[in-house]
Amino acid sequence: MKALVKDKAEPGLWLRDVPEPAVGPGEVLVRVLRTGICGTDLHIRSWDGWAQQAVRTPLVVGHEFVGDVVEVGRDVTEIAVGDRVSGEGHLVCGKCRNCLAGRRHLCRATVGLGVGRDGAFAEYLALPASNVWVHRVEVDVDVAAIFDPFGNAVHTALSFPLVGEDVLITGAGPIGLMAAAVAKHAGARHVVVTDVNEQRLALARKVGATVALNVAHTSIEDAQRELGLREGFDVGLEMSGNPEALRGMIANLTHGGKIAMLGLPSQEFAVDWARIVMSMITIKGIYGREMFETWYAMSVLLEGGLDLAPVITGRYSHLDFEAAFDDAARGHGGKVILDWAA
Ligand code: NAD
Ligand code: ZN
């Protein structure tokens, strides 16, 4: 089968012929239809410092996918050939205290699909049935391909009660955009999205942001004044990994405000801890998705009319993967999809 492989410990990805994966007991084989390109895949392609310490070559990359089940292994009972599925890209150990308690998203020994083992940018993917999400309700195939980052957005956005609250989202990348759509859909009052990229801010307006703010020119304080917020934002969703964004968020939160932090800073940095203490701000780190509570919420949100169509801005054949990766790496748009059937 064809797969996108990190073959050599140097920048690049290569479309190669590799053996079809074998299906072990408790696993399913998926014929991949579409995949989404994530920042992780861009890191692996460019072979940056993180990728060099996280990845052993050769590796089939990718973890955002949708496909159809073509074979089920022994002992798989709840999934059938023909099921349309996406998958949880975090493979957990099943043995640690958190796993045994059903808190699989807190596993101490998580392995990433397409990072720590062969991934989804391929014609076929074998995956434990316990990592498979069956789309019981019909979902647009491109949206189904991005359930993984959509799950990051939902996990973050629904970490704290949102109904009637004023929400600040820093970073209008694909995940920030989806979080904005979710926050609005879930009943937030004002959803203010910040970024430094005008094209992404335009997308934020499309998904329903009350205000999309370029923090290179306008301050969050000004936006607050414009909206008549006298006491600050109730909830912050940090989606940029940028130190200035988190500092600005902390400074603009109400007393007792809550921050759900998904953005991954590349290094340590200082924040105003006295403000966090004296304003009694809660900060919660978010990693991945809750298995499978977040997935349930995602499906129901879509069933309830949540529209993610504006977030998908690039569609390419897997044969044009270089152009697709360049598109994603420019960082001007939303999600970029690779079609494995085309
Ligand atoms: P992205 O890099 O495409 O988007 C980040 C956005 O933040 C960009 O549009 C950038 O212009 C913007 N930005 C930069 N400086 C800013 C500032 N000062 N204020 C506001 N915005 C600013 O990323 P993405 O794919 O949407 O992912 C969002 C973040 O979440 C990234 O940091 C990523 O590494 C992280 N991530 C975390 C998890 C997790 O499980 N915790 C999973 C996936 C991604
Ligand atoms: Zn575990």
Mean of pLDDT values over 136-153: 97
User: In the numeric block, which tokens belong to residue 52?
Assistant: 């060099």
Instruction: Name the closest-CA residue to atom 12, ligand 1.
Output: 171
Element of type H or E holding 328? helix 321-330
21 in Cβ contact with 120 (< 8 Å): no
2-146+308-339, what's its fold?
Quinone Oxidoreductase; Chain A, domain 1 (3.90.180)
Cβ-based neighbour number of residue 130 at 10 Å: 16
pLDDT, tens only, 231-243? 999 999 999 999 9
Establish whether residue 175 lines the binding site of ligand 1, counting it when its CB lies within 6 angstroms of any ligand atom: yes
pLDDT, tens only, 166-216? 999 999 999 999 999 999 999 999 999 999 999 999 999 999 999 999 999
Pick from 240, 287, 291 the residue to mutate for probing ligand 1's pocket: most ligand atoms within 8 Å of its CB.
Answer: 240
262 is in an annotated binding site: yes
Q: What is the pLDDT of residue 100?
A: 97
Which pTM does this prediction carry? 0.97
Mean of pLDDT values over 154-164: 98
What residue ranges do the domains of the chain occupy? 2-146+308-339, 153-285
- Answer yes or no: is pLDDT of 342 > 90: no
Mean of pLDDT values over 250-268: 97
Residue type, 14: W
pLDDT, the chain, mean: 97
Closest listed residue to residue 66, CA positions, set 284, 259, 295, 304: 295
Ligand nearest to the CA of 220: 1
Dist CA 168 CA 128 (whole Å):
37
Strand partners, 84: 68
Dist CA 155 CA 286 (whole Å):
7
Q: What is the pLDDT of residue 20?
A: 97
Query: Torsions phi, psi of 327, nearest 5?
Result: -60, -50
Q: Is 170 a catalytic residue?
A: no
CATH class of the domain whose range is 153-285? alpha beta
The rounded radius of gyration (Å) of the Cα atoms in the chain is 20
Strands 90-91 and 2-6: unpaired
Ligand nearest to the CA of 99: 2
258 in Cβ contact with 281 (< 8 Å): yes
Catalytic pick among 35, 40, 170, 210: 40
Mean of pLDDT values over 243-262: 98
Establish whether residue 210 lines the binding site of ligand 1, counting it when its CB lies within 6 angstroms of any ligand atom: no
Q: Is 318 a catalytic residue?
A: no
171 is in an annotated binding site: no
pLDDT, tens only, 9-51? 999 999 999 999 999 999 999 999 999 999 999 999 999 999 9
